[in-house]
Structure 1
Amino acid sequence: MIRVVIAEDQKMLLGAFSSLIAFETDIEVVGEAQDGQKAWELIVEKIPDVCILDIEMPHMTGLELARKIKEEQIPSKVMIVTTFSRVGYLQKAIDSDVTGYLLKDEPIDYLIDSIRKVAAGEKVVSRDLAATLFMKVENPLNDREIDVLRLVREGLTTSEITRRLFLTKGTVRNYLSSSIQKLQVESRQQAVNKANENGWLE
């Protein structure tokens, strides 16, 4: 029996996944969670064979969970299920030893088959994502530039960022300017958008 924990912040989708998997005689859902922290507690308690994780959840993302599972040497295999086909996300998933990376619009039969393959140690990537494996884009931003862009994404002003990061206004402006230059865009918002699309702000 393949034991599975599912983490998905959309209640309807979580219920649909569980209900459909329940029809399979060789797969059992041993836990469900709507946020990353609850998912982590379930994974530690149940030690499932496969963890099916949404990439964006409250408290802890699917990728953060995958890294935590790897760091704590929990033997569970990880499948990321997402609506996002961003190259950066996929690369981070690969770096975190994620075994499966599927788009949510895949047929349910494909998901079920993928659970079995992942449990058996195979790697599975949605067909529409296969090409992105050869499109790795290196993140040109340093840690401080990422910190500043994350706060811009949250809607903070330059003054608010200076207080949050204990930096001067000039330093914050320099980080924003270098980010804009590195990403070859024209504004801080465009820099946030481009970095976000590539999964560099996660």
Structure 2
Amino acid sequence: MKILVVDDHALFRAGLRLLLVSMGGNASIYEAATAAEATAVVAAHPDLAVCLLDLSLGPEHGLDSLKRFKAIAPDVVVVIVSAANDMATVRMCIEAGAMSFVPKSMPPETLRMALEKVLTGQIYLPEEVMHTTATVNRPSLSPRQIDVLRGLARALPTKSIARELFLSEYTVKEYISGLFEALQVHNRTEAVITASRLGLLSLSQSV
């Protein structure tokens, strides 16, 4: 597995590298200090699996870097590692396609947990986010609803979800509408955050 660490602080990149090495496995770890360097790594390694991306890359706006990265490497799982942990930032990152958000203030074990979850297709969000969402009882969802929910968690457009599940776009839209109602939310980002808090994204996929 190939992992890219993008952070403009060399010491922090070195710390992440040591942490990743300590986690075991046979991961190849690459580093980049800027969005341009990250793009070059992606071009050289099309089989890149995960990117740990800082939101503060010097003069570059982190969210713009995330959007640019997802545009050139849509299949790479992005884990945001940031000094920020406010709800607005987390929402924007998930909306832009990140699969996880790990505040730099959290212990190393948190990053380990995040990687374990995202590599199985799950969203990971910090506890701070979980506690700020409204209280919602865990709804009972059908296997197909879970499939659609997983598509939302991967930031897939309706057309892509429909193609993967061999459904019409109209049917997928109906499922999404039903998910919003069941989760008591108003948009996709809120649906993913609430579903993650309730543990719905860890349920088995339908066969």
Q: What TM-score, normalized to structure 2?
A: 0.58
Aligned CA distance change for structure 1 residues 42 and 123 (closer, same or farther; 3 Å): same
**Range with greater deviation from structure 2 (64-73 or 74-83):** 64-73
Alpha-carbon offset, residue 59 of structure 1: 5.5
2:109 maps to amino acid: D
Aligned CA distance change for structure 1 residues 4 and 41 (closer, same or farther; 3 Å): same
2:109 matches 1:109 = yes
What's the counterpart of residue 97 of structure 2?
97
What's the counterpart of residue 31 of structure 1?
30
Aligned CA distance change for structure 1 residues 70 and 108 (closer, same or farther; 3 Å): same
Give the Cα–Cα distance (whole angstroms) in 2 for the partners of residues 15 and 110 of structure 1.
17
* Cα contact 1:6–1:29 (8 A) shared by 2: no
Alpha-carbon offset, residue 130 of structure 1: 2.3
Alpha-carbon offset, residue 73 of structure 1: 5.1
Q: How well do the aligned residues superpose, as a CA RMSD in angstroms? A: 2.0
1:71 maps to amino acid: A
What's the counterpart of residue 21 of structure 2?
22
Give the Cα–Cα distance (whole angstroms) in 2 for the partners of residues 6 and 96 of structure 1.
19
Larger-gyration structure (1/2): 1
Give the Cα–Cα distance (whole angstroms) in 1 for the partners of residues 63 and 13 of structure 2.
18
What's the counterpart of residue 12 of structure 2?
13
Name structure 2 gaps, 5 residues minimum.
Answer: 135-207
What's the counterpart of residue 50 of structure 1?
50
Alpha-carbon displacement from aligned partner over 1:18-39 (angstroms, at most 9, x marks no partner): 0121122225243101122212
* Cα contact 1:6–1:14 (8 A) shared by 2: yes
Name structure 1 gaps, 5 residues minimum.
Answer: 135-202
Q: Secondary structure at the match of 1:4?
A: strand
Percent of aligned pairs sharing the same letter: 17
Total equivalences in the alignment: 133
Aligned CA distance change for structure 1 residues 37 and 61 (closer, same or farther; 3 Å): farther
* Cα contact 1:55–1:81 (8 A) shared by 2: yes
Alpha-carbon offset, residue 114 of structure 1: 1.0
Give the Cα–Cα distance (whole angstroms) in 2 for the partners of residues 92 and 38 of structure 1.
23
1:97 maps to amino acid: G
What's the counterpart of residue 129 of structure 1?
129
Q: What TM-score, normalized to structure 1?
A: 0.59
Alpha-carbon displacement from aligned partner over 1:171-200 (angstroms, at most 9, x marks no partner): xxxxxxxxxxxxxxxxxxxxxxxxxxxxxx
2:113 maps to amino acid: D
